[in-house]
Amino acid sequence: MIATFTRPGWYRAVLCTVLAAAFGFGIVVLLRVISGLPAMQTEQTGYPQVVVPLITAPLGFLLGIGCFDYWIRWGIGMPTIPDDHSSHGAYSWKDYFKVNTDHKVIGIQYIVTSFFFFLVGGLMAMLIRAELAQPGTQIVSAATFNGLFSTHAVLMIFVFIIPMFAGIANYVLPLMIGAPDMAFPRLNALSYWMLPMAGILFLASFLAPGGAFDAGWTGYAPLSTGAPLGQSFFNIGVQFAGFSSIFTALNFLVTIITMRAPGMTFWRMPLLVWANLSTSLLVVAATPFISGAQFMVLFDRILHTNFFQFGAGGDVISYQHIFWFYSHPAVYIMILPGFGIISEVISIHSRKPIFGYRLMALALIGIIVLSYSVWAHHMFVAGMFSWLRVPMMFTTLLIAVPTGIKIFSWLGTLYFGKIHTKSTAMLFALAFIVTFTIGGISGVMLGMVPFDIHVSQTYFIVAHIHFVLFGGSVFTIFAGLYHWFPKMTGRMYDEKLGRIHFWGTLIGTWGTFVPMHWIGMEGMPRRVADYASQFGNWNLLISCFAFMLGAVQLIFVYNMIVSWRFGPKAEANPWRGNSIEWLVSSPPPVFNFDEIPRVVGGPYEYGIPGARHAIMGGEGAEVPATQPSVVGT
Amino acid sequence: MFSKRLPIAKMAAAVVALSAVIAAVMLSINWNGAEDSTAAPKIDDLLNIEIVLSSIIFSIVVVALGYALYKFRAKPGDESDGEPIHGNTRLEITWTLVPTIIVLFSGAWSWKVLNEIEEPAAHQLTVDVFSQQYAWSFGYPGKEYAYSQGVLHVPVNRQIVFKMHSQDVIHSFWVPQWRIKKDNVPGITTTALITPTKIGHYQVICTQLCGFGHAAMRAKVIVQSESAFDKWVEGLKEKVPTPLMVSVKQDTQTNPEPLEQVEAE
């Protein structure tokens, strides 16, 4: 009986959560009583008796589920339990609900969890579109509406797109570089388990008095510093999501730098690896800024500091500078791993080496360097120092150049290839090129200060971000999920359902987000529950397409679940790829490789007879004599 | 080497034709609505230039992709690989340099337009904009701070210096037909220069999320002749209330001129 609660697992997790919440609550009440204050504080920006447990309870859960066991034993000098690999690899579905150190299990955990939040965030989008189908307020009140779109954005950004890419990379990347696992498997597990903490905090804010956080995902002060309790859920949830992504990024960096198979030089890394290397560099340096921004808001709310309190010497605009110093790089955090996925998919399915591989890798580095110098383009009308607008405009426009290089190089890859479009992954990759080009073009337009002054904070912005995040990131996510589904599950998915899902998603995306550009330019502001009746017809049309877009995602869910269970068995290399993950069985063995592979050439040597990217140790040490280089011709 | 194996002339013709069609359709639509300030036609011209450039870029991508899919699809059952082409340095330099020139040109043109629309004119009129959850009010310093709530009157063809103050959270002042938008930030004064060119009725729309009443935070704008405007201000009975005067006097302006602080009295 006692053992049930001392072993790491769900019983202990529940117990520790309750105890930690009680501890957090108790200490606040105790300190308040000692100080002669009323035990409970119920100002809308206050509620310390709720806010402190919001921090302690998730930590208690992480402790209980077993994320810290090994480190605590080591730290306090107890004999550590010799690792018998019992928490490594999944042998039944139950293993996915435990702390596991296998990068493949963690990858699946990440993917499934973030997809769950995608569905929840998607449902909120459906509610938003239902409300906006007609002018006036019909379904939700204006205050609830603000909470809905704020939570929608936060779920999609912090607990869907960012961790979904982390999940895909978690599964694929160690296999791709020939590593047995990530560099820090226990840290990897902790990163994963922080993710549901963040998601649950965001969703739980609906239960707070005053409703969910409703200051937008941007949470601009002083609207956020004066908002009801739900805002604190956001402030704290972001910390868990942020630490999760920082830890993962550190893990990727160390893994990529130190654990590549022998022979894999930097210029032999697949572009997905390059993409995650660049993304991780962004995450590690930028994410602390949003953590800091949200802590400052939380302190303004709870401790009455004056970071952003204008009446007490605080500076309102500095919030926006700190926030966007993370949140602009964040849009590249949300697209660079997708660029990597598209490179893999396009090269394999057109049976051709990536066109201009080195320039593709350098373009990624160019993007991360530039992306730190463009943040204030979100603030052209914010009232910041006016001279800052012009340099920020030029850096913003210049970032289109490396992005354009990527688009043109993917197109170049297709030429003189043998393009196979039977895979849904390839369809999403091809559609991504066109859709993302639109998002890129509207991005350049927004970078131009005079035009931005007109359309900033309108539906034009909504259209732009959905073109780059849905037409961009989400398309690449679907491409990646379809592409590596056989590898992850050992089963093939249904291409026919995949095609229906693809066409529905493509038409839905364009139908929903193209007209938003028009109504934005014509004068419809964003983040409104009600609007002028002249926009009624367009909004109705947008809503219809949005419902279709939402509905076809159910086909994807059905396809994935049924194929995972009943799909035909997948071979090791269904797409005839060169990179290392295709050299092992589908799904891969628990420890990935019986022998460490040896990398003998570039990752995309299609069309060169006898060329190999990597050989398994058992295949003898024969290296094909004429290894072509990857340098451009 | 590619030029010999690809119908470059035909592809270029397709790009020209497609971009001409897209640009013609896009340019024929008045996207931004009525142009009722001096800034509006300049911003719309900038948009039109960008529409033409974007049509070309988009057409290049679509034609390139379309031709590849038409020409290089694998025949059913063809399991062979494509040609091992790893790149082409000249082509790569081209698609790095040409977009760089295009965006630098767009940037330079934007900078020029920005300077034009923010050029201070002689004979300005200053109007204070006060915003709070969820209402607009306006002060007219010309006549000892006459005050109007929910309705803004301005004379036509005269540059107005809007000095914006917020009492609580950030709001944003936007009249779509004037094309100009500026946040009203608590604690500081922001400025926008607008010269209305047409007599008529408009709306100020709040575009910065400011709470549950955000969508309904509107004010009426009446642009009238100078004489009618003067008469209307004469007739205003109310003075700007003291709490709002405090923010006028604490004018810590950040834009467009450099920071200049006026001591609070």
pLDDT digits (tens, 9 = 90+) for A227-249: 999 999 999 999 999 999 999 99
What is the DSSP-derived secondary structure letter of residue B34? -
- Structure-token pair, residue B174: 């936007």
pLDDT band at A613 (very low <50, low <70, confident <90, very high): very high
Q: Has residue A481 been placed in a domain?
A: yes
CB A134 within 8 A of CB A81: no
A389 and B CB contact within 8 Å: yes
pLDDT in tens, B144-169: 789 999 999 999 999 999 999 999 99
Residues B58 and B111 in one domain: yes
User: Measured between alpha carbons, how far is B57 from B197 in angstroms, rounded to an integer?
Assistant: 35
pLDDT for A351 beyond 90 = yes
Tell me the Ramachandran region of residue A313: left when phi exceeds 0, alpha when psi lies from -120 to 50, beta otherwise: left
A84 inside domain: no
The answer to whether residue B79 sits within a structural domain is no
**Residue A633 pLDDT:** 37
- Condensed to tens digits (0 to 9), the pLDDT of residues A360-390 reads 999 999 999 999 999 999 999 998 888 899 9
Pairwise CA distance, residues A406 & B180, whole Å: 35
Q: Chain B within 8 Å of A538 (Cβ-Cβ)?
A: no
Shared domain check, A172 and A54:
no
User: Please, which residues 218-257 of chain B have a Cβ atom closer than 8 Å to chain A?
Assistant: 254-256
Q: Are residues B146 and B254 in the same domain?
A: yes
Same domain, B173 and B251: yes
Amino acid of residue A83:
D
Tell me if chain A has a CB within 8 Å of the CB of B169: yes
Interatomic CA distance for residues B169 and B186, integer angstroms: 6
Q: What percent of chain A has pLDDT over 70?
A: 97
Q: Note whether B58 and A437 are within 8 A (CB).
A: yes
Residues A51, A181, single domain; the answer is no
Distances (CA, A) of A169 to A13, A293, A395, A557, A594: 28, 28, 29, 21, 21
B264 within some domain: no
Let me know whether B107 and B149 are in one domain: no
- The answer to whether position B76 is within a domain reads no
Residue A335, C-beta contacts closer than 8 angstroms, at least 6 positions apart = A468, A472, A473, A476
CA atoms of A287 and A289, how far apart (whole Å) = 5
Burial of A41 (0-12, 13-18, 19+ CB in 10 A): middle
> Which amino acid is it at A515?
P
Instruction: Answer yes or no: do B248 and B137 share one domain.
Output: yes
Domain boundary among A515, A547, A566: A566
B131 and B51 together in one domain: no
pLDDT computed for residue A617 by the predictor? 72
CB A255 within 8 A of CB A183: yes
Residue B110 sits at the chain A interface (C-beta within 8 Å): yes
Contacts of residues A546-550 at CB distance under 8 Å and 24 or more positions apart, as own/partner, are: A546/A125, A546/A126, A546/A129, A546/A508, A546/A512, A547/A126, A547/A129, A548/A504, A548/A507, A548/A508, A548/A511, A549/A504, A549/A505, A549/A508, A549/A509, A549/A511, A549/A512, A550/A122, A550/A123, A550/A125, A550/A126, A550/A508
Please tell me the total number of residues recorded for chain A in this structure: 633
Q: Based on the domain organization, do B129 and B234 belong to the same domain?
A: yes
Q: How confident is the model at residue A194 (pLDDT cuts 50, 70, 90)?
A: very high
Contact A450 B107 (CB under 8 A): no
Q: Is the pLDDT of residue A632 over 60?
A: no
Dihedrals phi, psi of B243, to nearest 5 degrees: -60, -35
Query: Is A422 in contact with A376 (CB distance < 8 Å)?
Result: no
Report if residue B187 sits inside a domain. yes
Statement to judge: residues A199 and A56 lie in one domain: no
Confidence category of residue A45, pLDDT binned at 50, 70, 90:
confident
Which residues of chain B lie closer than 8 angstroms to A311, CB-CB? 187
Q: Is residue A227 in some structural domain? A: yes
Name the domain count of chain B: 2
**How confident is the model over A29-38, as a mean pLDDT?**
94
Residue of A429, A629, A578 lying closest to B81 (CA atoms):
A578
A489 is in which domain, residue-wise? 96-566
E strand segments, A84-208: none
Pair A170, A66 in one domain:
no
Any domain includes B77: no
Number of domains in chain A: 2
| In a shared domain, residues B190 and B110 | no
Q: Does any domain span residue A89?
A: no
Considering only CB atoms, B65 lies closest to which of A433, A451, A611, namely A433
Q: Determine contact: A454 vs chain B, CB below 8 A.
A: yes
Q: Rounded to whole angstroms, how far apart are CA atoms A262 and A513? A: 47
For residue B249, give the CATH number of its domain.
2.60.40.420
Q: In this complex, is the C-beta atom of A608 within 8 Å of any C-beta atom belonging to chain B?
A: yes
My answer on whether A60 and A109 are in the same domain is no
Assess whether B132 and B149 both reside in one domain: yes
pLDDT digits (tens, 9 = 90+) for B75-127: 988 888 999 988 999 999 999 999 999 999 999 999 999 999 999 998 899 99
My answer on whether A149 and A119 are in the same domain is: yes
CB A116 within 8 A of CB A159: no
Among B18, B80, B81, the strongest candidate for a mutation testing the A interface, having the largest count of A CBs within 10 A, is B81
Residues A450 and A384 in one domain: yes
Report whether A479 contacts A428 (CB < 8 A).
Answer: yes
The reply to whether A190 falls in a domain is yes
Residue A448: exposed, middle, or buried by beta-carbon count in 10 A (0-12, 13-18, 19+)? buried
User: Are B99 and B32 part of one and the same domain?
Assistant: yes
- Cα angle value B15/B20/B22 (rounded, 5°): 95
Cβ A438–B58 below 8 Å, yes or no?
yes
**Size of chain B in residues:** 265
Structure tokens at A360: 């593709």
CA-angle at A590, arms to A589 and A596, nearest 5°: 65
**Residue A312's pLDDT band (cuts 50, 70, 90):** confident
Do A70 and A108 share a domain, yes or no?
Answer: no
Using CA atoms, how far apart are residues A465 and A461, in angstroms rounded to an integer?
6
In terms of Cα–Cα distance, which of A216, A225, A188, A247 is closest to A311?
A225
For residue A165, pLDDT over 50 is answered with yes
Which A residues in the span 311-330 are in contact with B, Cβ-Cβ below 8 Å? 311, 314-317
Residue B21 and residue B28: Cα distance in Å, rounded?
Answer: 11
Do A138 and A29 fall into the same domain? no
Domain assignment present for B83:
no
| Contact (CB<8Å) A450/B110 | yes
Q: Do B215 and A142 lie within an 8 Å CB cutoff?
A: yes
The proportion of chain A whose per-residue pLDDT surpasses 90, expressed as a percent, equals: 84
Residue A43 DSSP one-character state: -
Same structural domain, A192 and A317:
yes
CA distances from A548 to A128, A138, A466, A508, B238 (A): 14, 21, 16, 6, 54
Boundary of a domain, candidates A75, A108, A138: A75
Q: Report yes or no: A221 and B186 within 8 Å, Cβ to Cβ.
A: no
pLDDT of residue A623: 52
Mean residue pLDDT of chain A comes to 93
Do A147 and A18 fall within a single domain? no
CATH code, domain carrying A341: 1.20.210.10
End-to-end CA distance of chain A: 70
pLDDT of A594 reads: 87
| β pairing state of B218-224 and B200-206 | antiparallel
* Two tokens, residue A600: 């003998």
Contacts of A40 (CB under 8 A, 6+ apart): A29, A49
Element of type H or E holding B190: strand B190-194
Which segments in chain B show pLDDT lower than 70?
1-3, 143, 251-265
Q: Tell me: do B137 and B64 sit in the same domain.
A: no
d(CA B93, CA A544): 44
Q: Which residue has the tokens 């920071």?
A: B259
B185 to chain A, any CB pair closer than 8 A? The answer is yes
- Measure the CA angle with vertex A93, ends A92 and A95; round to 5°: 75
Instruction: Quote the pLDDT of residue B253.
Output: 57
In a domain, B75, yes or no: no
**Placement of tokens 């269904």 in the chain:** A574
Nearest chain A residue to B73 by CA distance is A419
Q: Are residues A263 and A361 located together in one domain of the fold? A: yes
Q: B188 is in which domain, residue-wise?
A: 125-258
How much is the average pLDDT of A109-136? 96
Can you give the pLDDT at residue B265?
31
pLDDT digits (tens, 9 = 90+) for A417-472: 999 999 999 999 999 999 999 999 999 999 999 999 999 999 999 999 999 999 99
Q: Is there a contact between A524 and A458 (Cβ–Cβ < 8 Å)?
A: yes
Confirm whether B82 is domain-assigned.
Answer: no
pLDDT of amino acid A341: 97
